[in-house]
């Protein structure tokens, strides 16, 4: 957090893929995301909300032909609402547009609209669970759609550092992958 209402998130993604027919490993992308979050507001005594807007910059690091990269640098503005629900539950409804700003010669333009619903559950012992359902419309592939579900379980080791594991599963539409596993670290400033 830069202050209570501005958040800066950065990620580095590494992929091990067999999309090209053989096993390939490489850094896939680097992400930088800036988010403005409004002051909390109350809808009812038990339900509150915050409005968020921001932009994500995605630098392609992998190779499109071997399946370890998108082949494009991407700008992705987004907006949404985070709903604070009883019993330490949060539901986030979010819309995001992904557009390429530079595309490798062997890759496709990126022109995608994504709608997401994210459920976050705070668990005992500084743990959390996240379910992220991503529905995408790829405007470059004759309006093809896809849907991916991501499950995440994490634990804050202390106030500044946490670890998590992800499971991704393609539930329908054009497929970038069938499934995926990931591990990650969270650093709080």
For the chain, give every domain's residue range: 6-187
107 vs 69: CA distance, rounded Å: 9
* Count of C-beta atoms within a 10 Å radius of residue 69: 23
- Residue 57 has what pLDDT? 97
CA dihedral 35, 163, 83, 7 (to 10 degrees): -20
Residue 7 near residue 35 (C-beta atoms within 8 A): yes
Q: What is the mean pLDDT of residues 96-123?
A: 91
- How large is the greatest C-alpha to C-alpha distance in the chain, in angstroms? 55
Element (H, E) at 109: none
Domain 6-187's class? mainly beta
What are the tens digits of pLDDT across the range 124-178? Answer: 999 999 999 999 998 887 768 889 999 999 999 999 999 999 998 988 776 666 7
């Amino acid at each position: 957090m830069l202050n209570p209402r501005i958040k800066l998130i950065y990620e580095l993604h590494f992929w091990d893929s067999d999309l090209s027919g053989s096993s390939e490993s490489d850094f896939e992308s680097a992400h930088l995301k800036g988010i403005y979050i409004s002051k909390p507001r109350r809808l009812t005594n038990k339900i509150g909300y915050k409005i968020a807007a921001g932009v994500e910059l995605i630098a392609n690091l992998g190779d499109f032909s071997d399946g370890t990269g998108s082949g494009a640098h991407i700008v992705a503005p987004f907006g949404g609402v985070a709903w604070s629900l009883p019993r330490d539950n949060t539901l986030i409804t979010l819309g995001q547009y992904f557009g390429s700003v530079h595309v490798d010669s062997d890759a496709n333009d990126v022109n995608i609209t994504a709608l997401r619903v994210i459920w976050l559950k705070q668990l005992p012992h500084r743990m959390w669970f996240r379910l992220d359902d991503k529905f995408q419309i790829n405007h470059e592939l004759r309006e093809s759609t896809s849907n991916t579900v991501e499950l995440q379980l994490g634990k804050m080791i202390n106030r500044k550092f946490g670890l998590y594991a992800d499971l991704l599963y393609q539930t329908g539409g054009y497929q970038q992958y069938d499934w995926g596993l990931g591990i990650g670290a969270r650093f709080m400033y």
